[in-house]
Amino acid sequence: METQTIDIKGIGELSNRVLSTLETVVVGQQEPLRLLWATLLTGGHVLLEGVPGLGKTLIVRALGAVIDAPFARIQFTPDLMPADVTGTKIFDAQTGRFSFKRGPLFTSLLLADEVNRTPPKTQAALLEAMEEGRVTVDGDGMPLPEPFFVVATQNPMEYEGTYPLPEAQLDRFTVKLTVDYPGEEEEVAVLKGHRMTEGREASLPPQVTTHEVLACRRRLEDVRAEEFVIRYITSLVRATRHHPQVMLGASPRAGISLLSLGRALAAMDGRNYVTPDDIKSVIKPVLRHRLVPKPDVELEGLNSDELIEEIARSIPVPR
């Protein structure tokens, strides 16, 4: 497919090809895969959460294989320093000058594994790069490649020796995706295909180039969002700020994420217009890491997703 002639229909065809390839090695995670790809198309970043053994790393490595682009993985640990992520300047005794040695951030697809295990200073270096698309070392700014896509993983059950991301930094992630246990038949399929698929993601054929990703991203601007869709998004976001059980509601950035993902999902379905159903399908992933519930919410047996459902039900869906 020529990037110069890609259109909305082409985005749909390309997305189907990518997702079909990913599903050959990632079983039972269709929705996380779909939203992961949609977020890449919008230029955002993903926080991927799930207990160990559910294939979080496999999902990202498979995505790195189907995209013909540089891929890097950082295993975050308590002793990781910011320079280990961004890179550092090294003195060359032969030339008498300092040269910059690039860190693993200089890639197109970055897997930040167990991001909550590293101290806040190193987390901040990563999140600054996500926000600015560049790193600064000794006052010198260096741009990161385009596209630059970060998928950070964390385990929700382990708190000892971790450094939870503060709310202001969580807001930098477009979505928070939760990877859950597969269904019974899907788990049977995993066991049957274990030997065949183990490590198979590394041999997946590339399905898309970085130029095609950027062309798709530009084309998303042609997907229409009518006034009633914009107002629906605005009502949803503003409702989070006035709900009696929410201490901190969503920022305008959450509304931008809802709209961007709505456009991506519409294009992936071959449509040039956003529907309220597109927005409804991403309310939880966009908002679950942005809301700070009041302390009594958990005492009442509610989790963040249930609270978001309650807020969404209070807003009439335009038809």
pLDDT digits 0-9 by tens, 240-298: 999 999 998 999 999 999 999 999 999 999 999 999 999 999 999 999 999 988 888 77
Within this chain, do residues 244 and 211 fall inside the same structural domain, yes or no?
no
Judgement on whether residues 121 and 246 belong to the same structural domain of the protein: no
- Does residue 4 or residue 124 have the better pLDDT? 124
Q: What percent of the chain has pLDDT over 70?
A: 94
Percentage of the chain exceeding pLDDT 90: 51
**159 or 163: which carries more pLDDT confidence?**
163
d(CA 246, CA 127) in angstroms, rounded, equals 25
Closest CA relative to residue 33, chosen from 191, 160, 156, 151: 151
Highest mean pLDDT out of 66-75, 135-144, 160-169, 294-303: 66-75
- Residue 315 CA: distances (Å) to CA of 140, 142, 309, 310: 47, 44, 10, 9
Q: Which domain range does residue 283 map to?
A: 223-319
Residues 86, 181: one domain? yes
- Rounded to 5 degrees, φ, ψ at 99 are -120, 150
User: Of 6, 7, 14, which Cα lies nearest the Cα of 206?
Assistant: 14
Q: Say whether both 290 and 264 belong to one domain.
A: yes
2: confidence class by pLDDT, cuts 50, 70, 90: very low
CA dihedral (219, 220, 222, 224) in degrees, to 10, reads 170
Alpha-carbon gap, residue 275 to 53, rounded angstroms = 36
Total domain count for the chain? 2
Q: What is the CATH number of the domain that holds 183?
A: 3.40.50.300
User: What is the rounded CA–CA span in Å between residue 265 and residue 36?
Assistant: 11
Confidence (pLDDT) at 3: 42
Which tokens sit at 245? 């059980």
pLDDT in tens, 169-225: 888 999 999 888 877 887 787 777 665 555 667 778 889 999 999 999 999 999 999
Residue 37 has pLDDT above 60, yes or no: yes
Q: Is the pTM of this model over 0.85?
A: yes
Q: Return the ∠ at Cα 236 (arms to 265 and 284), rounded to 5°.
A: 55
Q: Does residue 92 sit in the same domain as residue 26? A: yes
Instruction: Please tell me whether residues 255 and 159 are part of one structural domain.
Output: no
Residues 242, 175 share a domain: no
pLDDT at 42: 96
pLDDT at 235: 96
Most confident of 78-87, 126-135, 258-267, 310-319: 258-267
The rounded mean pLDDT for the chain is 88
Asked if 122 and 216 sit in the same domain, the reply is yes
Q: Which residues of 143-177 are buried (b: 16+ CB within 10 A; e: fewer)?
A: ebeebbbbbbbbeeeeeeebbebeeebbbbbbbbb
Confidence band for 100, pLDDT divided at 50, 70 and 90: confident
Question: Do 218 and 229 have their domain in common?
Answer: no
Residues 216 and 230 in one domain: no
Both 209 and 280 in one domain: the answer is no
The pLDDT score that the predictor gives to residue 201 is: 72
The candidate with the shortest Cα–Cα distance to 297, out of 46, 288, 238, 159, is: 288
Per-residue model confidence (pLDDT) at position 25: 85
134, 247: one domain: no
The larger pLDDT score, comparing residue 52 to residue 114, is at 114
Domain end call among 191, 222, 253: 222
As a 3-state breakdown, the chain gives helix, strand, coil percent values, each rounded to 5, of: 50, 15, 35
Q: What single-letter amino acid sits at 283?
A: I
